[in-house]
């Protein structure tokens, strides 16, 4: 049975600074990389055949860190543009020491619009804590000029079905390293969680969830 690993990236500096990171790029927070060692041991206990991640640096850097933490193959980053491989080289015959790691904006974090990059505490004061919490946790509400959970679902889940599920159904073990809301909508899809219960899906930084794909669907594995 093929195995799926969903990993939320390690904490970034802007996460540490209590900002809405969204689609902005920034480094991981200091000392976060050490956590990659334990994650790598949990992940590479199984053979990983393919990796998917987003174009955000904190996600790609998390991938690189967990590969550095153990003596396994290296990630070979291949960018997907609109669901198609960018023609930057010949990727048909990569080294046996490389694991194909596909990068797509479809796995990006929620776009936070006007509040992106701003301090969360200051935004709560400006708009009210209840309203900000609704933007962050509800499925259908969106911050000003930003994305709702439903918007993220519309771009992330079709990508997941087209690529990740295809790999799983062919017997490959897949690791997906992404941000909080892109992973939340994947979990919603996998576990058939209702729109109303979407706010209950919570994945801390560095959270790892494991599933097996069986004939009857996904089965959550114990850590």
Phi, psi of 141 (to 5 degrees): -85, 140
pLDDT of residue 96: 75
109 is catalytic: yes
3-state secondary structure of 63: helix
Alpha carbons 41 and 38: distance in angstroms, whole number = 5
pLDDT of residue 87: 46
Q: What are the Cα distances from residue 176, in Å, to 14, 27, 107, 111, 161?
A: 22, 19, 9, 19, 13
pLDDT of residue 56: 95
pLDDT of residue 84: 58
pLDDT of residue 31: 87
DSSP secondary structure letter of residue 164: I
**Domains in the chain, CATH or no CATH each:** 2-220 (3.40.50.1240)
**Which one of 9, 32, 165, 180 is the catalytic residue?**
9
Say if pTM beats, i.e. exceeds, 0.85: yes
DSSP secondary structure letter of residue 23: T
Where residue 147 falls (left for φ over 0; alpha for ψ -120 to 50; beta otherwise) is: beta
9 is catalytic: yes
pLDDT of residue 102: 94
**Which one of 32, 109, 147, 165 is the catalytic residue?**
109
| Tens-place pLDDT, residues 138-158 | 999 999 999 999 999 999 999
pLDDT of residue 91: 53
Within the chain, which residues score under 70 in pLDDT?
Answer: 81-95, 223
């Amino acid at each position: 049975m093929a195995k799926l690993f969903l990993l939320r990236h390690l904490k970034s500096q802007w996460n540490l600074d209590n900002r809405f990171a969204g689609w902005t790029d920034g480094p991981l927070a200091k000392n976060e990389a050490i956590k990659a060692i334990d994650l790598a041991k949990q992940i590479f206990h199984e053979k990983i055949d393919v990796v998917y991640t987003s174009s955000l640096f904190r996600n790609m850097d998390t991938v690189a860190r967990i590969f550095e933490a153990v003596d396994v193959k290296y990630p070979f980053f291949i960018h997907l543009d609109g669901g198609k491989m960018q023609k930057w080289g010949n990727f048909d015959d990569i080294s046996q020491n490389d694991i194909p790691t596909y990068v797509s904006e479809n796995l990006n974090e929620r776009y936070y619009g006007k509040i992106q990059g701003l301090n969360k505490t200051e935004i709560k004061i400006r708009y009210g804590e209840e309203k900000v919490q609704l933007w962050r946790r509800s499925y259908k509400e969106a911050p000003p000029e930003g994305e709702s959970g439903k918007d993220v679902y519309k771009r992330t889940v079709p990508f997941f079905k087209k690529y990740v599920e295809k790999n799983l159904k062919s017997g490959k073990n897949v690791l997906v390293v992404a941000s909080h809301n892109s992973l939340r909508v994947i979990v919603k899809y996998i576990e058939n969680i209702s729109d109303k219960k979407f706010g209950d899906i919570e994945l801390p930084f560095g959270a790892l969830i494991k599933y097996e794909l069986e004939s009857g669907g996904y089965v959550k594995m114990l850590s």
